[in-house]
Every structure is written in C-alpha cells, then in structure tokens.
C-alpha cells in the first residue's frame, strides 16, 4: 500500500441529505460503503414522511460507519447539508445525493485531486467530458449553463457545472464555512465562498443519471430564479471574512506529502480518474 493510501485510510466523510427517498436510499448507502478511504456516512433526513429513516436505521445497526440525523421539519437541502457538515470528522468531505442520479462508484475519481495534494475543493462536472448521461430536459441544461456563466463572470473561474451535486472539500474548509442560504442555494453559495478563499479548485468528469419529475425530481423554475439572486448576493455582497467562521489554512497540508508521490503510485488507488482539470 502506498504512503498516500496510508495517509488517507478512513479519511472520507460522505454527507447524504435525503427527503422521502425510501426507494433509493438503501442502495445508495450500500454503494457508498464500498468506497475506499471511507470514515463515515452522515445521512440527514430532512423531515421525510415515508420510511426513509427506518431504512437508514436498519442499515446503521450492522454498519457503524452509518449515522442518521433527523430534522423535525422539511427545511430544504441546504439545511440538511449544514447539519451534516457539522457532524463530519473526515479530512475530506463529499456530498452524495440520495436519488441515484450520481453514481457512488465515481467518488474515488472526484476526490483523487485532493488525495494527490493538488486540490482542496473538487466539483464533479456533468459537462466537462461527456460521460454516461440520461437525456432529459433541454431547459435545465440551458439554465445550468447560464447560471455557471454568470457565476464565472463574478468569480473569474472557468467552471463548467456549478450546480453539480458532487462537491468535495478539504474537511476544515466546509466545516468552517458559514452556510446561510436555503433550499437548493448551497451550490451557488459554496461556489462563491470557495472562490473567495482562493484555494486550488479542480473539476473532474462524472456521469449523470437524471430523473424526471414523475420519478421524483424536486428542483423547479423558482429554484433557478433564486439561484440568480444568490449568485449576485454571495459574490458581490458577501465578504471573505463573513464567509467562514474561522479562516481555513491557505495550504494543502496535511496533503503536501502526496505531492511527492509519482503519478504511477497515485494511479494505484482503486477507481481513480485521471481526467481532472484545475481552475
């Protein structure tokens, strides 16, 4: 086992926000349990009214890595993520949706730039290099492109997909971030705040298995309008100092040792993906 693998054994926290996903949450957790370097899975039940919590509790009984947190009322994805991030302990934290639109088998590829000491934040892009993707709503595609373009104009980053569900962070960065938006605002807020921080940000290509509204998709036109305002708000009316409770270190430590490893050694990590790009 390489030095890199030793350093990151049990270093990954996976946060899964969930609302009424009893049909898929079990499968998602079982797949995440197979991910290398896993420390814990924090499932945050956002006031589900179905059997979601019961499914998670049943799995947690035989898998101590799985923890369930419950919000009394449905407060939105961002509220669930805020609670989940606060409970994490891992050196790397990644978000995993509960609806199987994103494949947990691709998590190793998303976190690879952080493991190698090259990045402190990684976004999984559905548009960077076209991988397997279900063909769905053109208007959603246009909206995603427009929101990403507007964000890029204000952050001066060349991101391709700010609304992606796969976002991985160095643990202290996301735990110290002050997350104040609601609903689906986290995607825009986190992008603006890590851009202000000035840390190395990478994107890697991912697959996307989107759902239709009939199958349970939960994002609507009003969420897109809110995202427009939040892009302006968090980029123009939010300072770096107010974005973090405590300023994360401007360094890749304790990731620096990974820089000394050869590409060949890094490629030995199961399931890694070398097609990443930096911003």
Burial of 245 (0-12, 13-18, 19+ CB in 10 A): exposed
Is a pLDDT exceeding 60 seen at residue 224? yes
Where do we find the tokens 């001066």?
A: 156
Residue 187: closest CA among 156, 149, 146, 231: 231
Task: Walk me through the domains of the chain, giving residue ranges and CATH numbers.
Answer: 3-252 (3.90.550.10)
pLDDT (tens digit per residue) in 227-255? 999 999 999 999 999 999 999 987 555 44
pLDDT (tens digit per residue) in 60-115? 999 999 999 999 999 999 999 999 999 999 999 999 999 999 999 999 999 999 99
Answer left, alpha or beta for residue 20, where phi above 0 means left and psi between -120 and 50 means alpha: left
Q: 3-state class of 177 per DSSP?
A: strand
């Amino acid at each position: 086992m390489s030095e890199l693998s030793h350093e990151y054994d049990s270093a990954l926290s996976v946060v899964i926000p969930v609302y009424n996903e009893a049909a898929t949450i079990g499968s998602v957790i079982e797949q995440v349990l197979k991910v290398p370097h896993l420390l814990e899975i924090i499932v945050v039940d956002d006031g589900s009214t179905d059997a979601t919590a019961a499914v998670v509790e049943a799995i947690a009984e035989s898998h101590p890595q799985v923890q369930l947190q419950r919000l009394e009322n449905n407060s939105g994805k961002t509220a669930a993520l805020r609670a989940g991030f606060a409970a994490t302990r891992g050196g790397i934290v990644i978000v995993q949706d509960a609806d199987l639109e994103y494949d947990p088998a691709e998590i190793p590829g998303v976190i690879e730039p952080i493991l190698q000491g090259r990045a402190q934040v990684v976004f999984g892009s559905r548009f960077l290099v076209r991988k397997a993707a279900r063909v769905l709503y053109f208007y959603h595609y246009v909206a995603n492109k427009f929101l990403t373009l507007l964000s890029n104009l204000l952050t001066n980053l060349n991101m391709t997909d700010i609304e992606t569900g796969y976002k991985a962070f160095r643990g202290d960065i996301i735990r110290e971030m002050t997350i104040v938006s609601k609903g689906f605002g986290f995607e825009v807020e986190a992008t603006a705040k890590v851009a202000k921080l000035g840390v190395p940000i990478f994107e890697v290509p991912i697959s996307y298995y989107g759902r239709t509204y009939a199958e349970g998709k939960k994002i609507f036109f009003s969420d897109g309008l809110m995202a427009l305002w939040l892009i302006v708000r968090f980029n123009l009316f939010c300072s770096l100092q107010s974005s973090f409770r405590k300023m994360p270190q401007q360094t890749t430590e304790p990731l620096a040792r990974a820089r000394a490893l050869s590409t060949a050694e890094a490629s030995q990590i199961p399931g890694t993906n070398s097609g990443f790009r930096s911003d």
